[in-house]
Amino acid sequence: MNNRQLTRAYSIKEVSQILNTPNGTIRQWEKDLNGLLKIPRTQQGARYYTENEIKILNKVKEMREQNVPKGMIRSLLEKYLNQESEPDSESFETNIQPLPEQPIQPVPHNELQPSNLESLQQAMELFKQDLLNEIKHEIKHEMKLSKNDIIDDMKNEISHSSLVTVKEISKSIQRSNDKRKAEVQEISNAIVRASEKTSETFGTLSYDILKGSESTYERIAKRINATAKMTERDNQKLLENVSKKVDEARDEMKSVSQFFDVQQDYLIDSINELKQSQEEIQKREEIFQEMISSYREVAAAKKQQKKWWKPWS
Reported as a single tens digit per residue, the pLDDT across 246-259 is: 888 888 888 888 88
Average pLDDT over residues 261-276: 87
* CATH number given to 1-96: 1.10.1660.10
Please write the tens of the pLDDT for every residue from 54-66. Answer: 999 999 999 999 8
Q: Is the pLDDT of residue 202 over 90?
A: no
d(CA 238, CA 242): 6
- State which amino acid sits at residue 241: N
DSSP SS3 for 66: coil
- Would you say 54 and 161 are in contact if contact means Cβ atoms under 8 Å apart? no
Concatenated DSSP letters of 76-131: HHHHHHHH-SS-HHHHHHHH----TT-PPPPPPGGG--HHHHHHHHHHHHHHHHHH
Q: Is the pLDDT of residue 92 over 60?
A: no
Q: Is the pLDDT of residue 6 over 60?
A: no
d(CA 244, CA 147): 55
Phi and psi at 47, nearest 5°, equal -80, 140
Higher pLDDT, 153 or 167: 167
- Would you say 77 and 36 are in contact if contact means Cβ atoms under 8 Å apart? yes
Amino acid 126: pLDDT: 73
Average per-residue pLDDT in the chain? Answer: 75
Average pLDDT over residues 19-31: 92
Q: Is the pLDDT of residue 272 over 50?
A: yes
Q: Work out the pLDDT band at 100, boundaries 50, 70, 90.
A: very low
Instruction: Lowest mean pLDDT of 41-45, 155-159, 227-231, 267-271, name the range.
Output: 155-159
Q: Work out the pLDDT band at 14, boundaries 50, 70, 90.
A: very high
Higher pLDDT, 30 or 89: 30
Angle between helices 51-65 and 70-83 (to 10 degrees): 150
Instruction: Lowest mean pLDDT of 32-36, 82-86, 102-106, 152-156, name the range.
Output: 102-106
Instruction: Lowest mean pLDDT of 14-18, 37-41, 98-102, 256-260, name the range.
Output: 98-102
Amino acid 204: pLDDT: 75
- Sorted by where each begins, the domain ranges of the chain are 1-96, 123-158, 159-265
Amino acid 136: pLDDT: 67
Amino acid 28: pLDDT: 93
Average pLDDT over residues 13-25: 93
Nearest to residue 9, comparing CAs of 55, 40, 43, 38?
40
Q: How many CB atoms within 10 Å of residue 75?
A: 12
Instruction: Lowest mean pLDDT of 61-65, 106-110, 143-147, 208-212, name the range.
Output: 106-110
Each as own residue / partner, the long-range contacts of residues 60-68 (CB below 8 Å, 24 or more positions apart, any chain) are 60/29, 60/33, 61/19, 61/21, 64/29, 65/130, 65/134, 67/134, 67/137, 67/138
Q: Is the pLDDT of residue 98 over 50?
A: no
